[in-house]
Structures are given as C-alpha cells and as structure tokens.
C-alpha cells in the first residue's frame, strides 16, 4: 500500500455519479460524492472511482486491467466516453467537478455497468474471424509485411464500446446499424489478405442500415481511447461497395 499523503497535499473533488440499482431504485439519480485527491500528482478517473467506492461501497462499475487493455471500464466522463483507467483527472475534471455516467444508448444493469449484448450482437454479425475456403496450407497462411501493415489501426480495437455508444446512429438503431466498433472489425477482415470471404462480407453490408447509417459525425474517432479511426474504416468499406457496383 502506498504511503499516506499529507493532508496539505489533498484537495476536495466533487464527483457526481449516476446511480441506479433496479432492485431498490424506481429511477436513476445522480449522487454527489466528495473525495480527497492529491494536488501534487495526477491520478486517473478509475483511481477517483476507487476513492468514491471507499465512501459508497454499493457503487458498481467494471474494471480489470487498469491500463487501457481490457476495455472494461468504458464510461461517460464529463460528457465524453472514455476509459476511466487511462483518463487522467487533469484532462477530465471541469470546474472542479467530475460527472460520471454509464455509456449512453445501452441498457443499464446497475450504476455505471451497462448491458453490452446489443454491442456484441452487432459484432457477431460481421463474423470477426478469418474465413478461408481453400485448403489449409502445410504451415500457415503467409502474409507479406506490406499486407500485414494494412491491418495497423484496425487490430488494436479492444472492444470497449466507447465508439459505438457515442454514435447517434447506433443510439437510434442499435439493432440495425452495426456501429463503428463492429464496422472497424469488418474492415479489419475485409482488408486482411488471407481472408477469402470479402464478397460475402460486402453483401452483408449492402442494405441501407448496417453500414450506410453512418453519417460521418466522427464521434467514434473523437472518443476512441486507442486513437483508432472507425470512420475511415467505414469509408473504405463504402468505397469498396461502390467500386464493386461499377464492375
């Protein structure tokens, strides 16, 4: 355990946290929790949540790796989706207040925990795995360094859901529009030189909703904690669909 921080190096931060326990509450409410944070170093929003939980033990949220890899602590931080574990307070706090809500657009299970089923259902539709038709080679399916480079900026997605739940098109039609995360994964496999189901993948995106509901708002790009660009991936798929039409 870290050493005790002198009182003179602490300041009070007011956290306003979305609370909802369906077994007790009729409707959600915002709860203010004052915590003491150090002034001489920057801590992450997740650390602040731990301090708040010490005061309010019933507060619930997901967390695991606490280093931006597992993607489990995606939440709405002062109005913008992000990962609590890699968002420093210095970046998140506005007017000495930190407001935390669950990621918008998905049903709330409890407090900051959302039901990700809709999100995963859409991911499943794009078949996020390599599909091959030819016989397996003796060793492995080889790929040149250039072909491998095509996947940079695509494979790094950790499926935290920050992008899809910041997208208005996903809010309105979460069952029809696949959302930026699933579409990024779709392009990841369309762009993969080893995949042999490009035509089928494109066929599945031809309808008016699955892909074309993206209006290029770019909220997904703005919030992605890994700095990825789902809008560009969507645009690449769209270009492929249009060029296919010309042939």
Partner 1 sequence: MSVKFFESGTNEFIIVRACAMLMFLYIIYLIYFIVSTPSIDYSLWKTFFEGFVTRIFSSLFLISFAVHTWFGTWAIGSDYFTPARLGDLSKIVYSSYRIFCFLVISVVLIWSLLIIW
- Closest CB to partner 1 among residues 143, 173: 173
The reply on whether position 204 binds partner 1 by CB under 8 A is: yes
E-only strand ranges, 20-57: 29-38
- State the residue for tokens 């005790």: 4
Both tokens of 100, joined, read: 């935390």
Please tell me whether residue 183 adopts helix, strand or coil conformation.
Answer: helix
Nearer to partner 1, 169 or 185 (CB): 169
Q: How many residues can be counted in the chain?
A: 247
Question: From CA 59, how far away is CA 16, in angstroms rounded?
Answer: 12
Give the footprint of partner 1 on residues 156-185 (CB under 8 A). Answer: 168-169, 172-174
- What token pair was written down for 171? 């809010």
The single residue listed with the structure tokens 């970046």 is 91
Contact 87, 43 (CB under 8 A): no
Pick the piece of the chain touching partner 1 (CB under 8 A) from 30-38, 92-100, 140-148, 210-218. Answer: 210-218
Closer CB to partner 1, residue 139 or residue 245? 245
Least distance to partner 1 from the beta carbon of 204, Å?
Answer: 6
- Note whether 17 and 33 are within 8 A (CB): yes
Calpha distance 224→105 (Å, rounded)? 16
Q: Is 29 in the site for partner 1 (CB under 8 A)?
A: no
Give yes or no for a contact between 51 and 17, defined as CB atoms under 8 angstroms apart: no
Shortest distance in whole angstroms from residue 212 CB to partner 1: 3
Round to whole Å and give the CA distance between 22 and 17: 16
Q: Which of 27, 95, 133, 245 binds partner 1 (CB under 8 A)?
A: 245
Kindly state whether residue 238 participates in binding partner 1, applying the rule CB under 8 A.
yes
* 203 contributes a contact to partner 1 by CB under 8 A: yes
Which one, of 244, 140, 230, lies nearest residue 201 by Cα? Answer: 244
CB of residue 60 vs partner 1: minimum separation in angstroms? 25
Among 27, 144, 242, 247, binds partner 1 (CB under 8 A): 242
Sites for partner 1 among residues 75-134 (CB under 8 A): none
Name the token pair of 238: 């769209």
Which range binds partner 1 by CB under 8 A, 87-95, 191-199, 211-219, 225-233?
A: 211-219
Q: Which stretch binds partner 1 (CB under 8 A): 76-84, 134-142, 223-231, 239-247?
A: 239-247
Is residue 155 a contact residue for partner 1 (CB under 8 A)?
Answer: no
Q: Alpha-carbon distance 94 to 18, whole Å? A: 17
Based on the shown chain and the rule CB under 8 A, indicate whether residue 151 belongs to the binding site for partner 1.
Answer: no
**Where does this chain bind partner 1 (CB under 8 A)?**
168-169, 172-174, 203-213, 215, 238, 241-242, 245
């Amino acid at each position: 355990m870290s050493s005790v921080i002198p009182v003179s190096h602490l300041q009070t931060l007011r956290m306003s946290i979305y609370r909802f326990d369906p077994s007790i509450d009729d409707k959600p409410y915002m709860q203010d929790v004052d915590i003491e944070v150090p002034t001489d170093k920057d801590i992450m929003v997740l650390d602040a949540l731990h301090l708040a939980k010490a005061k309010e033990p019933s507060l619930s949220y997901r967390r695991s790796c606490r280093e931006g890899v597992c993607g489990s602590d995606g939440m709405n931080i002062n109005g913008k989706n992000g990962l609590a574990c890699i968002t420093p307070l210095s970046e998140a706090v506005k007017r000495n207040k930190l407001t935390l809500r669950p990621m918008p657009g998905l049903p709330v299970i409890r407090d900051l925990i959302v039901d990700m089923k809709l999100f995963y259902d859409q991911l499943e539709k794009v078949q996020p795995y390599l599909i091959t038709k030819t016989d397996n080679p003796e060793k492995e399916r080889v790929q040149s360094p250039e072909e491998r480079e095509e996947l940079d900026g695509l494979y790094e997605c950790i499926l935290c859901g920050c992008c899809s739940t910041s997208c208005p098109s996903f809010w309105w039609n979460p069952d029809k529009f696949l959302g930026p995360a699933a579409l990024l994964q779709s392009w990841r496999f369309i762009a993969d030189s080893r995949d042999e189901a490009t035509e089928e993948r494109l066929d599945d995106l031809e309808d008016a909703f699955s892909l074309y509901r993206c209006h290029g708002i770019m909220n997904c790009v703005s919030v992605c904690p890994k700095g990825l660009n789902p809008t560009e991936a969507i645009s690449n798929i769209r270009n492929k669909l249009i060029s296919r039409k010309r042939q």
